[in-house]
Amino acid sequence: MRILIAIPSWELLAGARAILLEQAIWALAIMLVILPLGWVFGQRLGKPLSQLAEQVRAFSNFDFTQPPRVRSRISEVNNLSVLMGRMGSAIDRFQQITLALSHEPHLEHMLNEVMEHLVATAEGRSGAVYLCDDAEARLNCSSRYQGAHYPDSFVLDEAFKQSPEEQLLQRLDTDHSYLVVALHDRHKALLGLLVVELSVQLEGDFRRRLQRFVQDLSGTLSVAIETRILFAGQQRLLDAIIRLLADAIDAKSPYTGGHCERVPQLAEMLLCHAEASQDGELASFTMDDDQRYAFRLASWLHDCGKITSPEYVVDKATKLETIYNRIHEIRTRFEVLWRDAELECLRAQLSGGDAEQSQRDCRALQERLQAEFALVAQANIGGETMSDEQIAELEKIAERRWLRHFDNRLGLSLAEQARMAAIPEQAMPVSEPLLADRAEHIFPWGDKKPPVERDDPANRWGFDMTLPQHAMHLGELYNLRIRRGTLTPEERFKINDHIVQTLIMLEGLPFPRYLQRVPELAATHHETLDGRGYPCRLTAEDLGVPERIMAIADIFEALTAADRPYKEAKPLSVSLDILVGMAEQQHVDADLLRLFIVRGVYRQYAEKFLQPAQCDTVDEARLLARLDALSA
């Protein structure tokens, strides 16, 4: 112990310390080697987990786009990556299905898109949707995705209605495995059937879960299908009602039949060429489906206000025409004067006068009456412009008197009696002028004055029209003195008022948002580029391409129409010459009219609607030169 205690510690523990130092050096060397290797292996093992974490983070941020598969040597990580990829893909496809159900307006496009995503989600091979056609009692294939083996239709018999899923499985071929789900509407009626062809390798549990998923989805799909069917049905109903109204307006007058049908077709012809044009301002013109549908409705409704226009005004072929041609009344008065001349001749002879002279005077008076009636009858036709001399002769003829022996207050309606109440009665017989503008011929506005003047407080539509003094003036001399045509200012206003009524009627309808411009489009075809049109005196800045197209279509149809009593149908050359003149006066758009001629729209319309005699040769070069001069 003494010797041991006497030995120095450094000498005693020198070997142990050497061993410890050697072990420490080896341990440090091993650590320096192991740590990089561990870091490398950790990175290789941790990277897939980091990628999975990123995928989970993307899912938490509602990003379900399918990520690339994570590769790892750890099978559990690979399995988790596959499952997460399938989950993200399923959620993403479910979102796409939801978007298609909510946003795609067309039924067939919606079904095709839904079937594509549904088949991919189910890991299927193909799919189809059959919809019921109750009118034909058939089940028709409305969508088919990668499946040419699906029949086009089945007979919708009673067995199908009782157990549709089982019946469809029995009638499909047995070479494939199918998942069939029935689609029902909100009234539990059979709407159709959804078919998905599955892989034979799918496990039973997955098939059952897929069955539940598709059944849950079928409710939403059924509602989407029913909604689109109802929407399509409502659209067809709206189109049918609009065409019914247009046909009723055409049928109301035997002379304007077909106008409301021809104008839309001509307008759509020109619209198609305007959209395809790459020249000038039309190069940037385009319309989507909703805008085209609004234009189509507006073209069918452009004259719906004519339903309020009296037939005798719309169809007025002579100046004295109301519900009937009053020239017959005037002829009767001339007949009375003829008889009076004969009676006067006989009285002169009975009183001992010169018989021959009396007869000569009678014949001379009757000849004058014949000439005067011929002038009145000619003026009544309204085919030529009345000169001042002709009007003076009419006024001179009107000064002739005739005796009325019968009370003109008998046999009247209550309305006529009310108008006659303010007129003093006269003792019979009454001497009256041959052509009269009587007080009862004038109809005041009263409380039915339309709000069309710009300063009228009730005018909330922006109308700017001149209101005639009276609502109606049936005066015989007043009507015969019409200088051109057959309409008085009051009747011309009544004709023009149809566009006012069109705008008022259409603005009262609850059009959906995408059809809000229908009233405006329908009520501007009588506006002109120079601001002199009606009903609102709009200018070129206020009129878009659709409005200008509507104006050209309406004018060209009116010029070439062969069913008007007050004018002859004009040939193509004359009609286009008039339209070019209107373009020179800034009434219609010159660029659209040039397109109308260059693309031959007028010829397409003529081949379909005009009589062969109207289809004459058109000097297009001369017309286009006049239009080009406007641009220069």
* pLDDT tens-digit readout, 285-344: 999 999 999 999 999 999 888 888 888 887 788 888 888 888 898 899 889 999 999 998
pLDDT of residue 100: 74
User: What is the spatial distance between Cα 568 and Cα 317, in angstroms, rounded to a whole number?
Assistant: 12
pLDDT of residue 11: 66
pLDDT of residue 422: 83
pLDDT of residue 473: 93
Residue matched to tokens 């001149």? 466
User: What is the spatial distance between Cα 177 and Cα 123, in angstroms, rounded to a whole number?
Assistant: 13
pLDDT band at 268 (very low <50, low <70, confident <90, very high): very high
Average pLDDT of the residues in 467-471: 92
Hey, CA dihedral for 477, 480, 484, 490, is it positive or negative? positive
- What backbone torsions phi and psi does residue 126 show, to the nearest 5 degrees? -160, 175
HSE, side-chain direction, 13 A CA sphere, residue 154? 23
Average pLDDT of the residues in 503-525: 92
CA dihedral of 129, 134, 137, 141, whole degrees rounded to 10: -20
**Where on the phi/psi map is residue 70: left (φ > 0), alpha (ψ -120 to 50), or beta?**
beta
Q: Can you give the pTM of this predicted structure?
A: 0.75
User: What is the spatial distance between Cα 471 and Cα 507, in angstroms, rounded to a whole number?
Assistant: 25
Q: Which range among 153-162, 195-204, 553-562 has the greatest average pLDDT? A: 553-562
More confident residue, 104 or 598: 598
pLDDT band at 625 (very low <50, low <70, confident <90, very high): very high
Per-residue pLDDT at 584 exceeds 90:
yes
More confident residue, 94 or 559: 559
Cβ atoms of 262 and 606 within 8 Å: the answer is no
Per-residue pLDDT at 192 exceeds 80:
yes
- What backbone torsions phi and psi does residue 400 show, to the nearest 5 degrees? -60, 145
Strand pairing of 472-473 and 442-443?
Answer: antiparallel
Cβ atoms of 267 and 273 within 8 Å: the answer is no
Gyration radius (Cα) of the chain, Å: 45
Of the chain, the percentage scoring pLDDT greater than 70 comes to 87
Average pLDDT of the residues in 248-266: 78
Total residue length of the chain: 632
The region of weakest confidence among 104-118, 186-200, 243-257, 320-334 is 243-257
Per-residue pLDDT at 44 exceeds 80:
no
User: What is the spatial distance between Cα 594 and Cα 575, in angstroms, rounded to a whole number?
Assistant: 14
pLDDT of residue 199: 74
Contacting residues for 128 by C-beta, under 8 A, at least 6 apart? 115, 141, 143, 144, 145, 147, 150, 195
Coil, helix or strand at residue 382: coil
pLDDT band at 88 (very low <50, low <70, confident <90, very high): low
The region of weakest confidence among 92-106, 313-327, 342-356 is 92-106
Average pLDDT of the residues in 505-534: 92
Q: At what angle do helices 572-584 and 545-560 cross, to 10 degrees?
A: 140
More confident residue, 77 or 250: 250
Per-residue pLDDT at 72 exceeds 70:
no
pLDDT of residue 257: 61
More confident residue, 275 or 38: 275
The region of weakest confidence among 35-44, 169-178, 183-192 is 35-44
Of the chain, the percentage scoring pLDDT greater than 90 comes to 35
Per-residue pLDDT at 261 exceeds 80:
yes
pLDDT of residue 13: 67
**Residue 154, H or E segment:** strand 153-155
More confident residue, 460 or 247: 460
User: What is the spatial distance between Cα 519 and Cα 513, in angstroms, rounded to a whole number?
Assistant: 12
Average pLDDT over all residues of the chain: 85
